[in-house]
Amino acid sequence: MKKNESFNCAYANILVTGGAGFIGSNFIRYLFGRSAFKGRIINYDKLTYAGNTASLKDVAGKYGTDRYSFIKGDICDCGKVLRALKKYAVDAIVHFAAESHVDRSIFGPKDFIETNVHGSFSMLEAARNYWNGRKDVRFHHISTDEVYGSLGRTGAFSETTPYDPRSPYSASKASSDHIARSYYHTYGLPVTLSNCSNNYGPYHYPEKLIPLLILNALAGKPLPVYGDGLNVRDWLYVEDHCGAIWEILGKGRPGESYNVGGNCEKKNIDVVRAVCGGLESVRPSAGNSALKGRKYSDLITFVKDRPGHDRRYAVDASKIRRELGWKPAHNFENGLKSTIDWYLENSAWLAAIKETSYSGWLKKNYLLRK
């Protein structure tokens, strides 16, 4: 067994929703990397703008015939989910699928309510119906630290912090958390939850802060900083998040929630400066014709703030550390370096995204922030 595998995976057929997205695709790759996991993964994904089968091309090529299946489907389609559960004798569900971008939830909350609330409800119903009281199964619901609201200068979210969501995105996630928990208490469905902070790393859709900064900097475009840039987020390298989910699947107690964080609070402006510095060291602006003699940091542009912008998030992840022995393996410096290197080496993945509706969204977002 590899060093971090302190248990044998009890599940043979794991259905991952949203497996074509950022964290889901990293999680599928992570799972196939565990020697303790010998089973099949069924990736159930609607392929919205954020879903991309290219993110799993290597996995599909290597495991496609016997250990990996992809189903294009909507989590709101309970019947289709149920058929997939039956067909593959699924014994664990890891539910990532969601509309995930706060800015988009501000411009158009409907899809967030549909997918995050109705879709999660539909997943839970399909699981309850198919498993019919079994206890040797698991429904793991992926959630966010944003359900807890906004912090002042001190303190950190623990699992007992009252929910106080403040954007349509976080409200929809909070709602699905409550529904998931209710299925444990009411029907005994073996549900676990995790509430994680800001992830970053490979395959991150470039509407989110870090990949957007990398992309814009390389193209000599403005690096938009919302408001005064002093909002604080806790950053976690995506592979560490995957490791936490793996530990919860293996050893987490049904009915419990686990906070997951990087113990890595940063002001947004410091993240922006770190990305500029990281790029200068591997792809100096002096040699980049798009920069026209400017440094990457010259592109930093303060723009109108996000409405209802939560000021500070910080995560107390002591429960998962104490109970399951999980802690992050990456720090921000090496995680960011790996991320920048990955984007520089994977320009084809990015180019394909740029051909989609991506630029339309950016234009809309940017104009609204002027």
Q: What distance in Å separates the CA atoms of residue 330 and residue 335, rounded to the nearest whole number?
A: 6
Q: Is 203 a catalytic residue?
A: no
Partner from ligand NAD, ligand DAU, none contacting 46, C-beta within 5 to 8 A by type: ligand NAD
Tell me which of 15, 50, 212, 272 binds ligand NAD, using CB under 6 A. 50
Angle (deg, nearest 10), helices 268-282 and 209-218 = 40
State in angstroms the smallest separation of the CB of 27 from ligand NAD: 9
151 interacts with ligand DAU by CB under 6 A = no
Q: What are the phi and psi torsion angles at 222 (to 5°)?
A: -60, 145
Binders of ligand DAU among 251-280, rule CB under 6 A?
268
* Site membership for ligand DAU, residue 95 (CB under 6 A): no
What gap in Å lies between CA 30 and CA 94, rounded to an integer?
13
Report the distance separating Cα 304 and Cα 307, nearest Å: 9
198 touching ligand DAU, by CB under 6 A: yes
The b-or-e profile of 53-87 (16+ CB within 10 A means b, else e) is bebbeebbeebeeeebbbbebbbbbbebbbebbee
Residue 351 Cβ, how far from ligand DAU at the closest point, in Å? Answer: 20
> For strand 40-45 and strand 68-72, is the pairing parallel, antiparallel, or unpaired?
parallel
Q: Which is nearer to ligand NAD, 17 or 365 (CB)?
A: 17
133 or 162: whose CB is closer to ligand DAU?
A: 162
Q: Which does 276 bind (CB under 5 to 8 A by kind): ligand NAD, ligand DAU, none?
A: none
Strands (E), the chain: 13-17, 40-45, 68-72, 92-95, 138-144, 191-196, 198-200, 223-226, 232-237, 257-260, 265-267, 300-303
Q: Is 76 in the site for ligand NAD (CB under 6 A)?
A: yes
252 binds, among ligand NAD, ligand DAU, none (CB under 5 to 8 A by kind): none
Residue 66 annotated as catalytic: no
Query: Quick check: 187 and 128 in contact, CB under 8 A?
Result: yes
Cα separation values, 10 from 139, 140, 229, Å:
13, 14, 45
How far apart are alpha carbons 360 and 358 in whole angstroms? 5
- Would you give the binding string for ligand DAU spanning residues 320-339, x where CB under 6 A is met? --------------------
Indicate whether 75 belongs to the interface with ligand NAD (CB under 6 A): yes
Query: Is 323 part of the annotated catalytic residue set?
Result: no
> Which residues would be at the binding site for ligand DAU (CB under 6 A)?
100-102, 144-146, 197-198, 208-209, 212, 224-226, 231, 233, 268, 306, 313
**Catalytically active residues, by annotation:** 145-146, 169
> Which residues would be at the binding site for ligand NAD (CB under 6 A)?
17-18, 20-24, 45-48, 50-51, 74-76, 96-100, 115, 119, 142, 144, 173, 196, 198-199, 205
